[in-house]
Amino acid sequence: MVADTWLEQLHDNGYRVTAARRAVVDTVHSSTHALTPIEVYDQARKKYRVLGLVTVYRTLEKLEELHLIQRVHQPQGCQAFISAGIGHQHLLLCKNCGDVAFFEGDDLDALTASIAKKTGYQIQEHWLQLFGLCGKCK
Amino acid sequence: MVADTWLEQLHDNGYRVTAARRAVVDTVHSSTHALTPIEVYDQARKKYRVLGLVTVYRTLEKLEELHLIQRVHQPQGCQAFISAGIGHQHLLLCKNCGDVAFFEGDDLDALTASIAKKTGYQIQEHWLQLFGLCGKCK
DNA sequence: TACTTATTGAAAATGATTTTCAATAGCGAA
DNA sequence: TTCGCTATTGAAAATCATTTTCAATAAGTA
């Protein structure tokens, strides 16, 4: 299971690898949908019955801190999480089924330079997210 | 006061123009920072003492519905609102002082075409937000 | 001016998230 | 392998933001 990398990261950062964390990590790692804490809880409990919702919150917090997962912002809410991807990536969300695709290769240098000039801001970061319909839903 | 436009819009859409709504509209309309409901409440109460927090929530809801304000997504949270701007605009936020600038003229057609081809998605919308330091803070 | 009814603020209800706490279990050291 | 320290656990309680309920009030039209 590739989720092992996440467990290693937890361990390497001084966190213990427990059955509860394994269930949460497996669930989030393997999902192509952004999951809310409750959704993670429901799915992870199939793997580890006695899991508590509190532990889901605490584990998501640590995974986010280690940049292994990221919060997904959507019109309906911003409580869902998905894998952080590797390197500088952005998200593309299917408005119909909620599936998430990653992409990279956004070159916004020309745009940010122009905006910096116009606004007088020094631009440091950008958030870019696309919405549409995935191959199956369109 | 230019906020009159927003009051007119409320009125034209069948909503009544009340002292409470005037206070909320004035506050949000004149702010260059994204404000949370509580922040709006605190500021608007200086203009209208008996204002209730519930009315702030209800008024923000209507302003958003009329596309006069928009929700601002940030790492610290997504409860803040700011004027919606006019036409297709994006936000540029100062990480230091929280000031918000608007910009337009993002041409992402080439990017979205390329992403669409790679991912098989049909792209419909994009969210773009920049972070940096404003002229004063940099 | 009068009347209809949208709007109000307070209090209660809800829902999500966080804290508290005693019991348990990881995992490094011996 | 066993031991012991202490991070982690789940349940319950606490907190925080937001929404609903409701009777009193006031906007705006007739």
Span A7-11, mean pLDDT?
Answer: 97
Residue in B79, B97, B111 to test binding to A, most A beta-carbons within 10 Å = B111
DSSP code, position B104:
-
Residues of A in contact with B101 (CB under 8 A): 119, 121
Q: What is the pLDDT of residues B80-126, one digit of tens each?
A: 999 998 889 999 999 999 999 999 988 899 999 999 999 999 999 99
DSSP string, B39-80: HHHHHHTTT-TT--HHHHHHHHHHHHHTTSEEEEEETTEEEE
Give the C-alpha separation, A65 to A95, whole Å.
28
Residues of B in contact with A127 (CB under 8 A): 73, 127-131
Per-residue pLDDT band for B14 (boundaries 50, 70, 90) equals: very high
CA atoms A89, A57, A77, A96: torsion sign: positive
Q: Do A127 and B122 touch (CB under 8 A)?
A: no
Residue A107 pLDDT > 90, yes or no?
A: no
| Statement: the CB of A38 is under 7 Å from strand C | yes
pLDDT for B56: 98
Q: What is the pLDDT of residues B39-49, one digit of tens each?
A: 999 999 999 99
Give the C-alpha separation, A79 to A35, whole Å.
8
| Statement: the CB of B50 is under 7 Å from strand C | yes
- β B90-94/B122-133 pair status: parallel
Residue pair B3/B26 in contact by the 8 Å Cβ criterion: yes
Span B51-75, mean pLDDT?
Answer: 97
Q: Do B135 and A120 touch (CB under 8 A)?
A: yes
- Nearest by CB: B132 against A73, A95, A124: A124
Backbone angles phi, psi at B76, to 5 degrees: -80, -10
Span A118-129, mean pLDDT?
Answer: 97
Residue pair B62/B15 in contact by the 8 Å Cβ criterion: yes
Would you call B88 an interface residue with chain A, using a CB distance cutoff of 8 Å? no
Span A60-70, mean pLDDT?
Answer: 97
- Six-digit token string for A16: 């213990």
- Six-digit token string for A7: 């467990």
Residue A1 pLDDT > 60, yes or no?
A: no
Per-residue pLDDT band for A2 (boundaries 50, 70, 90) equals: low
pTM of the model: 0.94
Q: What is the pLDDT of residues A29-43, one digit of tens each?
A: 999 999 999 999 999
Per-residue pLDDT band for A105 (boundaries 50, 70, 90) equals: confident
Q: Cα–chain-centroid distance for residue B98?
A: 13
Please report how many Cα atoms fall inside a 13 Å half-sphere around the Cα of residue B54, on the Cβ side. Answer: 0
Question: For C9, which residue's CA is nearest its C1'?
Answer: B52
Query: Domain map of chain B by residue range?
Result: 4-83, 90-132
Q: Is pLDDT larger for residue B87 or for residue B135?
A: B135
pLDDT for A36: 98
Query: Whole-number mean pLDDT of chain A?
Result: 96
Would you call A111 an interface residue with chain B, using a CB distance cutoff of 8 Å? yes
Query: Whole-number mean pLDDT of chain B?
Result: 96
Question: Strand pairing partners for A52?
Answer: none
pLDDT for B4: 87
Q: Which CATH architecture has domain B4-83?
A: Orthogonal Bundle (1.10)
Examine domains A4-83 and A90-132 and report if their fold is the same. Answer: no
Give the C-alpha separation, A64 to A54, whole Å.
16
Q: CATH says B90-132 is which class?
A: alpha beta
Q: Do A125 and B120 touch (CB under 8 A)?
A: no
Residue in B121, B128, B136 to test binding to A, most A beta-carbons within 10 Å = B121
Give Cβ neighbours of residue B12 (< 8 Å, ≥ 6 apart). none
Give the C-alpha separation, A98 to A131, whole Å.
10
Would you call B116 an interface residue with chain A, using a CB distance cutoff of 8 Å? yes
- Six-digit token string for B23: 């206070």
Give the C-alpha separation, A53 to A55, whole Å.
5
Would you call A125 an interface residue with chain B, using a CB distance cutoff of 8 Å? yes
